[in-house]
Structure 1
C-alpha cells in the first residue's frame, strides 16, 4: 500500500512539473494566475509531504517556494483588481 506522504508529495511534484512544462512549451506564461496557483499548490503539497516524512531541507525549500509563489499570487490578484 502506498503511504499517504508519497501520494501527497507525488501530487505536489506533478503540479510543479506541470507548471514548468506548460511554461517551457509556451502554453502558460509565468505571470498568469494559473501558473502561480499551480506553483503554490504544488510547493505547498510537497512541503507538507516533507513535513510528514520529517525531512527539513525540503520543508525549507518547498515552504519558501510556496511562500514566494503565494506572494506572487497576491500581487497578481491586486493587479487584476486595479484593471
Structure 2
C-alpha cells in the first residue's frame, strides 16, 4: 500500500524535520534556548497534526497531541522563568 506524496505529506515531512531539528539542537547546544527548543517542537507537532488529519493514524495523532502539550508546558515554564528574571532585575 502506498500513500501519495501530496501537500499534506510534505507538510508532515516538514513537521518531522522540525522535531528532529529540535532534538538535534537540544543535543548539540550546551545551554539550549527553551523558546527555540519548545517552539520548534510545537511547530513540528502542529504540522504533523495537519498531515495526520488527512492521512489518519490515530496513535500518531495522539502522540502529536502529547508532544504539543509538552511543548506548550515547556514554553509556559520558560515564559514564567523569563518574567521572574526580568522582575528581579
**Bin for the TM-score computed over the shorter chain:** 0.7 to 0.9
- SS state at 1:33 partner: helix
Aligned-residue CA RMSD in angstroms?
1.8
Q: CA deviation at 1:48?
A: 2.1
Task: Tell me which residue corresponds to 1:63.
Answer: 65
Q: Which runs of 5+ in 2 are unaligned?
A: none
2:82 equivalent in structure 1: 80
Question: CA–CA distance in 1 between the matches of 2:63 and 2:31?
Answer: 24
How many residue pairs match? The answer is 82
Structure number, greater radius of gyration: 2
> Structure 1: which 5+ residue stretches go unaligned?
none
TM (normalized to structure 1)?
A: 0.85
Map of 1:18 onto structure 2: 21
Q: Could you say what secondary structure the match of 1:54 adopts? A: coil
Q: Normalising by structure 2, report the TM-score.
A: 0.80
- Which residue in the other structure is 1:45 paired with? 47
